[in-house]
Structure 1
């Protein structure tokens, strides 16, 4: 369910959406989202790029960056929303619900689709809640997110026996099965447990139900979480609104699930007796720092090991398309900025990246909302492929929402403006993606003809299948360290390493051809590069590799002959700049500056309250000559997103085109009003840094710099 809106890191005004239906209220964003100008391609629509040395050393801190072999890092999860998916049994229908689907989906429909899920190269499936609901709102019940009986299957979805069949059939195909656990709220009139426990009845109201009370309800939810592991041998849980459970109690629930998983076994696709995986992933739709605090817990006392990586998701859709605000088509450097948010997480973290889910707008609809492409355009399908390629090289579990693999969109949705009855039409942002599933070879409704894909849908599906197959065969992609080789407005390049598996990831994020010259020293290679998707080969010439990528082209190269030294870094950017914007000791002017308002660094740094705070420690002083400055002591190895903004958001600035900060370098500053227009910064070492900007005479831009103080 969705009951609040707030600021989200990377999106500034991204909606904090808990799961389920409904388009309920909440406070509006402080400013209207603007339309950000896209990156302009050069004349001739061809870019020439030369990479001499790697940009940044490898990152091997987080759990899935360590070539640990942990199966959770290799998860490729296919998410289905049960009521809007496939109608496999006409005895079980809701016939109503949020979204624009048939509302007839059931457990049998998922069983009918398991061969398809397996054929995609996925190895897990996540079902939205299937437990009995009993609120007075049938549409809400169809979402499953307000359970009334956690130990019974919703009679509109099927039977417990059918769910057992689903689990068994999935396991026989090598698919893990995850159920959706709502352990922070319920219908308010829930049934008791088999062991005689009951839920509290005095928790705060949440929509049509109420929040759970901890620690009073802890034992009840431990019983729920372990019951289905022991009873059906499920492999774990997706955890709705995980922030509703105080972080210290996730350790109790997680440990109980791990212990229960160790007590039962099933036969997998290889004929081996194995324990259920015991994987748990939290939904905390907030900034990286909040996810760290409310989901992962401290390194000394881990809570959850995995949470969805919403910050990187926003970075991804902002780059290859637009986010829900309509802002996007950002430079390739934005992908690196998104991944730098992972620095906020403790070492045990296994973030899970997705492109969309049942509460988000489908990527295809976002492309249309941003006027970037429609299904009749080649760029529509190419942008999908490029985004999937970025996901495919993500170290950690990934999740694919049903029908993203065929580029699904809702015709006409992007043209809906000011629609006040969107809930009745199934055209609200938070449930428009709950459209009727189209699964190749399977009838969407009982009695219908099995679905046939058109040529473009089939081509994208085949690409995703190839991508998942390559990912599964190369631990460097899902369990490897990351060295950032290069990124600019157009091209993104990483090297991934897991033991002797070394893969170079090259992605063109824009609608231009990119001719790239890579020095062997930059990527740590002195032999052939073998393309893992197409099978092509790039041989070195005079120590360099010539790679050409078409618009939105992608390549995964196996580095056949890695050098012992690995990627060679430059001497590093000079972190200390020059000129008045680098002056760390300029006296205050003793007068009000031309903006006429107090200005602050507002962002996702610790103490910044996810853009909400304006602490005095981050308040600019006016120095004269149109220059504003503040000196801040920063910690080492940190990254965050920010704007220079007033407390009332009447003035907002960032690097032009929302680019990333280059430390010690003067950069153009521009107005950055509204959602998704912030800049990112990565600080490689501790020290005092001066943040400066010079406002121009029109008060609509100027120059800015972040410089290390000597």
Structure 2
């Protein structure tokens, strides 16, 4: 997606505002007030969702199904054992029986975990049996595993989904396979390699380009045979990025060669959508999945960086990191600067490889199961996703706030595997698609989710529009979304406390009323100010009835004269008061996800407790970082793990452990100075990052 680099660079900063002490509101309650007078930055930090194939890709709302765990539709099929706590009898018939529920919930696509035949080997153990149920180490890529059903069952599923307006995506594992896979040639007689690196005790990695033609045949066979709409690509980084363009082209050409009739009676081609799973930072996703503008690879990959920010802000990650400020969301969104223009990130809340969001809330002691906070945090996270430009994916039954019963804390060792409670498969619970069996709260959350999905239908700016980041602080996050004459203001309160906002019309580009798109409430403007109350964890979607240009501050940070901003200070003698070498350690390219200590990122002692390094940033980028020694003592970041404000001296504090890093957006190539001055205590101080003049 195209970005305005200046807008990205400053979108993580606060808008011009005045914080007003507690004040009584009309109903007598006491709330904080925040006055927002101008957005700080230019418009269009992220342009319309890029889809050369049409708007369908931008508005994908995918219902992700763990096939073996989902619904038992045919008692004669099923694995009966597997990882996780489900019945392990899920099958294709069960998915077909659930299509009406899926459609009625607000989804328009399904993704099935692998359903190809995982043929047992003579010497495999119980753990290999469980792995077979996942489908992620297949033997025969051209046959349906009989424990999931038959080819006719698969054909019926796809046809029934298409008749309801649901797209169907299969899971493409093109980077590894089971050890016996070379015994199952393709229809054209191709066989897989035998010399790849061992994987999971039962399989091996593919070798490219040796296996390329085989997997091209896999990718196109199911489009031609069943008319599926594309692929979710497991561990996409295992396929060298240079080979993704050829695979993608094969999928697109196969999709254009066949047609089917959709729910509107239209004759259409399969979508040919491909979305990669690359669980890493934005830079690595770009490098191994998206490729470059000159050599584009995949057009979509899951947005793991933003997903991490969402769970850490509205809930918790699996390590228990929670309570991150709303600026954390803005900073994560700004990292899209790492992606080439053809990139189309896909955002999700949970996956089949992590604990459910509900379990994470319990683990972090943020909300007990079924409490009001439990549902409120789900609603808040859902709302943020609904305002995201690009496709969305939801793990089955996240729409009803599902969680694994009795599980909150991680379980370790053999116990975790035997009980099915390891973090990487605990979310694989039995599916729930009987509306009559939902509790009132579950049904209410599903209804809210459905309303959000209807909003995306009715207001294309949400799924396809330009995003202008208006404001964020420790509690409040505000974006404006624009597409043609559709203009929506999205606001969310990430904290449990109520806040009263006084928003100047010029700050959001509005001179008329704002209409709440969920309940129809009209907010009038009085002397260019809107009073908008947000309860704890509440979000609002406000239609801008009379849109104007957003008024910004100058967007320029005043030049400082402190030595921290200089780039020409000579080195001093010795290692300084810390007595050890320090580095910028982070997720930048070459940083090996915080583990590398390259000389180009090594601080030099300049005297007067000042450490500096000048880094040549060759491209615009964004990354997370800490200032740390090789042994991680000390490790420091902006106080409160807040994002960097370029050109501003900020307080620095210890940042020990995962999730305490800060982030920086580099808006354009050039030389940047990274500085910190350590206090006498050797633990805190001040820091600065800015471009060399």
Note if 1:706 corresponds to 2:670.
Answer: no
Q: 2-side partners of 1:619 and 1:679: how far apart?
A: 18
Match of 1:662 among 633, 638, 645: 645
Q: 1-side partners of 2:285 and 2:670: how far apart?
A: 26
Q: Which residue of 1 aligns with 2:11?
A: none
Q: Which residue of 2 aligns with 1:153?
A: 144
- Greater alpha carbon shift after TM alignment, 469-478 vs 694-703: 694-703
Match of 2:259 among 261, 265, 269: 265
Secondary structure at the aligned position of 1:341 is classed as helix
Secondary structure at the aligned position of 2:57 is classed as helix
Q: State the Cα distance separating 1:143 from its structure 2 match.
A: 0.2
TM-score, length-normalised on structure 1? 0.90
Greater relative contact order (Cα 8 A, min sep 6): structure 1 or 2? 1
Q: Is the 8 A contact 2:230 2:273 kept in 1?
A: yes
Q: 1-side partners of 2:102 and 2:669: how far apart?
A: 47
Q: 2-side partners of 1:116 and 1:255: how far apart?
A: 34
Q: Which residue of 1 aligns with 2:550?
A: 567
Match of 2:187 among 176, 185, 194: 194
- Greater alpha carbon shift after TM alignment, 174-183 vs 594-603: 594-603
Secondary structure at the aligned position of 1:339 is classed as helix
Q: Is the 8 A contact 1:66 1:480 kept in 2?
A: no
- Cα RMSD (Å): 1.9
Match of 1:554 among 539, 543, 552: 539
Q: 2-side partners of 1:285 and 1:215: how far apart?
A: 23
Note if 1:144 corresponds to 2:135.
Answer: yes
Q: State the Cα distance separating 1:594 from its structure 2 match.
A: 2.2
The number of aligned residues is: 659
Change (3 A) 1:232 1:417: closer
Match of 1:177 among 165, 168, 178: 168
Unaligned runs of 5+ in 1: 1-40, 442-450
- Greater alpha carbon shift after TM alignment, 422-431 vs 198-207: 198-207
Secondary structure at the aligned position of 1:516 is classed as strand
Q: Which residue of 1 aligns with 2:529?
A: 544
Q: Is the 8 A contact 2:586 2:594 kept in 1?
A: yes
Change (3 A) 1:360 1:415: closer
Kindly provide the CA deviation profile for residues 295-353 of structure 1, in whole angstroms up to 9, marking residues without a partner as x. 11111121111111111111111111111211121000011111112111111111111
Match of 1:204 among 180, 193, 197: 197
Q: State the Cα distance separating 1:694 from its structure 2 match.
A: 2.2
Kindly provide the CA deviation profile for residues 631-656 of structure 1, in whole angstroms up to 9, marking residues without a partner as x. 22335643211111111212211112
- Greater alpha carbon shift after TM alignment, 87-96 vs 412-421: 412-421
Q: Is the 8 A contact 2:103 2:164 kept in 1?
A: yes
Match of 2:321 among 323, 327, 333: 327
Kindly provide the CA deviation profile for residues 16-62 of structure 1, in whole angstroms up to 9, marking residues without a partner as x. xxxxxxxxxxxxxxxxxxxxxxxxx9999833211111123233666
Note if 1:223 corresponds to 2:217.
Answer: yes
Change (3 A) 1:499 1:65: farther
Q: 2-side partners of 1:330 and 1:635: how far apart?
A: 30
Secondary structure at the aligned position of 2:35 is classed as strand
Q: 1-side partners of 2:68 and 2:119: how far apart?
A: 16
Note if 1:281 corresponds to 2:275.
Answer: yes
Alignment of 1:317-466 (within 5 A): 317-416=311-410, 418=412, 420-441=414-435, 452-466=437-451
Note if 1:164 corresponds to 2:173.
Answer: no
Q: Which residue of 2 aligns with 1:305?
A: 299
- Greater alpha carbon shift after TM alignment, 549-558 vs 634-643: 634-643
Q: Is the 8 A contact 1:265 1:274 kept in 2?
A: yes
Change (3 A) 1:415 1:61: closer
Match of 1:598 among 564, 581, 590: 581
Alignment of 1:560-639 (within 5 A): 560-563=545-548, 566-574=549-557, 576-635=559-618, 637-639=620-622
Q: 1-side partners of 2:52 and 2:358: how far apart?
A: 34
TM-score, length-normalised on structure 2? 0.92
- Greater alpha carbon shift after TM alignment, 529-538 vs 73-82: 529-538
Q: Is the 8 A contact 1:522 1:567 kept in 2?
A: yes
Q: Is the 8 A contact 1:593 1:622 kept in 2?
A: yes
Q: State the Cα distance separating 1:513 from its structure 2 match.
A: 0.7
Q: Which residue of 2 aligns with 1:35?
A: none
Q: 2-side partners of 1:651 and 1:339: how far apart?
A: 29
Change (3 A) 1:416 1:688: closer
Q: State the Cα distance separating 1:76 from its structure 2 match.
A: 0.5
Kindly provide the CA deviation profile for residues 399-428 of structure 1, in whole angstroms up to 9, marking residues without a partner as x. 010111111112332234555510111111
Q: State the Cα distance separating 1:610 from its structure 2 match.
A: 2.2
Q: State the Cα distance separating 1:576 from its structure 2 match.
A: 3.3
Match of 2:671 among 688, 692, 696: 688
Q: Which residue of 1 aligns with 2:7?
A: none
Note if 1:294 corresponds to 2:279.
Answer: no
Q: Is the 8 A contact 2:69 2:430 kept in 1?
A: yes
Kindly provide the CA deviation profile for residues 1-30 of structure 1, in whole angstroms up to 9, marking residues without a partner as x. xxxxxxxxxxxxxxxxxxxxxxxxxxxxxx
Q: 2-side partners of 1:334 and 1:426: how far apart?
A: 33
Q: 2-side partners of 1:222 and 1:68: how far apart?
A: 21
Change (3 A) 1:431 1:418: closer
Kindly provide the CA deviation profile for residues 479-518 of structure 1, in whole angstroms up to 9, marking residues without a partner as x. 1111110001000111111111111111111111111111
Note if 1:81 corresponds to 2:75.
Answer: no
Match of 1:511 among 486, 491, 496: 496
Q: Which residue of 1 aligns with 2:656?
A: 673
Q: State the Cα distance separating 1:125 from its structure 2 match.
A: 0.3
Q: Is the 8 A contact 1:67 1:479 kept in 2?
A: no
